[in-house]
Amino acid sequence: MVLLKFCFMETLKILVSNFCLDAGCRPVIFILLFVFLRTNVHSQDLPGAGVVSIQFDDKTELKLYRDTLDSDPVRVLKFFYDSAVYGYNIRSLDKHRAWLDPELLWLEYGRFLLRCESAIGGWYKVVVNKSSGTTLWLRSGESNALVDWPSFLRSATGVVRLREHPQKIRATPSDSGKPVAYTGPDCFQVRQVQGDWIEIFTHELCADVHPEIRKPLQSGWIRWRRGAILLIEYFLAG
C-alpha cells in the first residue's frame, strides 16, 4: 500500500508539472484526486469545531501539548526547505508518522489540516491521528487558523453520504422535505450550508469518474451531521 501511494503521488507530480499547463487536464486531475483522497481522508464520528489549517514555511515549528497548562510540548514538528523535493518538508517525518495521521498532509501543495474538537481560550484541541482519535493541544497563532464547518464543506472537492448513516436527498433542508429522485452514485459538491443541512449538486466532472451518471443532480439537501455525529464523507484536493 505504501509503495502504491508513492507511485501514485509521483505520477500525479509528473502530470501536474509536465502536462497540466492548461485547463484541458482538469478532468484527469479531478479523477486522480477523487480516487486517491477518498482512500486517505476518512470521516470521524465527532465533527467538532471545524478544521485547523496550518500555514508553514522553512522556519515553522509546530508545537503540540498534552494539556494547556503544560510548559513543554510533547511533540514538535520542524519544517525546512528540502532541496530534494524543491519544497517544504518536515524533519524526521517518517518517525513522526508513527503518531501523526492528520486530516490532510500534502506538503507539496501547502496543505496541512487537523480536525479541531474544540477551541478554548487561545487553544485548539486537535486530532493528530484520525485513525486512533488521539488529540493534542495547539496554541492559536499566525501560522494556523480555524476554518468553520460551513466554509470547510464548501471548499471540499466532493462529499458523499456515509453508508452507515443512510438518508434520502430532500428538496428542502428538512426531514419532512419531499424526497428527490436520484439513482446515480454519490459524487457531490456543496453549494451552501444551512445549520445541519447542506445543499448538494453533481460536480460537472463527475461523469469522468462515474460514466453511469446519466441525470446529474441539480439541487438537493442532505444532513451533514445529526447532533455530534458526522453523516458524510468529504474529499479534499491539494
pLDDT per position as a tens digit, 107-123: 988 999 999 999 998 99
Decide if pLDDT at 5 tops 50.
Answer: no
The torsion region of residue 133 among left (phi > 0), alpha (psi -120 to 50) and beta comes to left
Q: Which of 45, 230, 236, 64 is nearest to 144 (CA)?
A: 64
Predicted confidence at residue 187, as pLDDT, reads: 87
- Summarize the confidence of residues 201-226 as an average pLDDT: 85
Decide if pLDDT at 202 tops 80.
Answer: yes
77: three-class secondary structure by DSSP: strand
Q: How confident is the model at residue 46 (pLDDT cuts 50, 70, 90)?
A: low
Domain boundaries, the chain: 50-147, 152-235
φ, ψ (nearest 5 deg) of residue 237: -95, 160
Q: List, for residues 170-180, the tens digit of each pLDDT value.
A: 999 999 999 99
CB 118 within 8 A of CB 49: yes
Of 1.25.40, 2.40.50, 2.60.40, 2.30.30, the CATH number of 152-235 is 2.30.30
User: What predicted TM-score, i.e. pTM, was given to this entire model?
Assistant: 0.72
